[in-house]
Every structure is written in C-alpha cells, then in structure tokens.
C-alpha cells in the first residue's frame, strides 16, 4: 500500500520524505487555504520537493465544463508529476473524459457512492478517491464504499484506476483500506506519525535497553 500525504504543508512533506513514507501528495483548495499561499506557487514547491516520480494532486476550482478544462490544462502544465483533481459532478465527468483521452492523469475527488466511482473509472480517472471520513461523519460506512470500489475494479480489469482512501481520520482507516486492497491511503501528517507509534514498542524497547545496560554493569564488576 502506498502512502500519500494529504497536505499542502512543505515541512510535513519534508518530514514524511525523510521517514521514507511519502509516495505522493494530495492537496485540495482547503489545504492550500490553510497554508495561506498561492496554489500554483505551493504546488510547484511540493512537486520540486517530492521529485518527478511522485504524483502530486492539484484540484480545479471551476465547476463548469469549460472552466474545469481550462484549469485542468493549466495545472497539468505546471509539472510532469501533476495529477489534476476533478470533483465528481456532471461537468467534472465530462471534463475527465476529455482530458484523460489526451493523457492527463486525473484524481476523481469527492466520491461518496459506487455509481460515482464507476463513472470516474469509465471516464479514465487514474485515481478514485472515496472520502471515508466524511462518509462516516454522517453515519454511513465509508469503508464499505472502498470495499465496493475494490470489487468493481477487480471485476473489470480494463479499468486502469487506483483507489485512494481519502478523508482519513485515523490509523484504523488505513488498516481497513489495506485489508480491502486499496492501493493508496492519503493521510494527514498527524495520522502518519501515529502509524508507527505503539506503547508496547516503547515499553519493550525500554526493557531491552535497561536489561542490556544492567548486563554491561555486571560485566564491568
């Protein structure tokens, strides 16, 4: 399973790269706004930081077909690792069909149902992003949608899409996504850190080190 970082913060990305835990980055307009930066400037810095082999999602903010197309072409030209994020609305599907046929990679975002995931796959999206946390927030089961999407992709092997578990709220979403065969989890920085923390690891390590230090004292004496 690949880990993308769901952030527009370059310090977080730098740290995740240092840990070897960043296979790509997803941004969205809210994450860009949180950094208070111009989208193009922030995304270009991220692309440069992660290198050309790691995909970086940059989202369109237009909602009409012509506007989405215009922004998709602009963003795709920013850097070679850009993936254009397009929302799952009718105009978005229409734009996805057009730009994917021209070789632009698309991350279909704001997916909340299997029909939406199916339409995005049919429109040639490279990535399908079911928003599991927001799904759970309103009392549905976000992971059920991931499971259904995985089943759909297995059934039709001519779809060339990967599932991104998005809107991750904690390690549990990553674990479940992994068990369901999702290809990628895009995780907030705070969740990434929690993936390798465990109190029993800390307790175990303390004990190993204490026992070994005691042995050194005994050997000296």
Query: Minimum CB separation from ligand E4P for residue 221, in Å?
Result: 57
Neighbours of 203 (CB within 10 A): 10
Nearer to ligand E4P, 24 or 124 (CB): 24
Nearer to ligand E4P, 9 or 212 (CB): 9
Query: Minimum CB separation from ligand E4P for residue 31, in Å?
Result: 6
Decide if 1 contacts 22 (C-beta within 8 A).
no
Nearer to ligand E4P, 59 or 200 (CB): 59
Query: Minimum CB separation from ligand E4P for residue 133, in Å?
Result: 5
Does 85 qualify as catalytic in the annotation?
yes
Reading the block at residue 74, the tokens are: 């602009």
Nearer to ligand E4P, 126 or 167 (CB): 167
Interacting residues toward ligand E4P by CB under 6 A: 6, 26, 28, 109, 129, 131, 133-134, 166-167, 186
Query: Minimum CB separation from ligand E4P for residue 218, in Å?
Result: 53
Given the residues 70, 85, 98, 194, select the one marked as catalytic.
85
Residue nearest to ligand E4P (CB): 167
Q: Which active-site residues does the annotation give?
A: 85
């Amino acid at each position: 399973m690949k880990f993308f970082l769901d952030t527009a913060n370059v310090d977080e990305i730098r740290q995740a790269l240092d840990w070897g835990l960043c296979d790509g980055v997803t941004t969205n307009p809210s994450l860009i706004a949180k950094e208070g930066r111009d989208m193009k400037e922030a995304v270009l810095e991220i692309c440069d930081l992660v290198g050309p082999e790691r995909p970086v999602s940059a989202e369109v903010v237009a909602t009409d077909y012509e506007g989405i197309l215009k922004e998709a072409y602009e963003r795709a030209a920013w850097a070679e690792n850009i993936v254009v994020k397009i929302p799952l609305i009718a105009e978005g599907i229409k734009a996805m069909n057009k730009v994917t046929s021209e070789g632009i990679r698309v991350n279909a975002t704001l997916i909340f149902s299997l029909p939406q995931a199916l339409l995005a796959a049919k429109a040639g999206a490279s990535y399908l992003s079911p928003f599991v946390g927001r799904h759970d927030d309103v009392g549905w089961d976000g992971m059920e949608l991931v499971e259904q999407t995985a089943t759909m992709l297995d059934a039709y092997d001519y779809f060339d899409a990967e599932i991104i578990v998005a809107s991750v709220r904690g390690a549990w979403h990553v674990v479940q996504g992994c068990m369901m065969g999702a290809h990628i989890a895009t995780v907030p920085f705070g969740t990434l850190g929690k993936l390798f923390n465990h109190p029993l690891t800390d307790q175990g390590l303390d004990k190993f080190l204490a026992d070994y230090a005691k042995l050194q004292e005994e050997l000296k004496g």
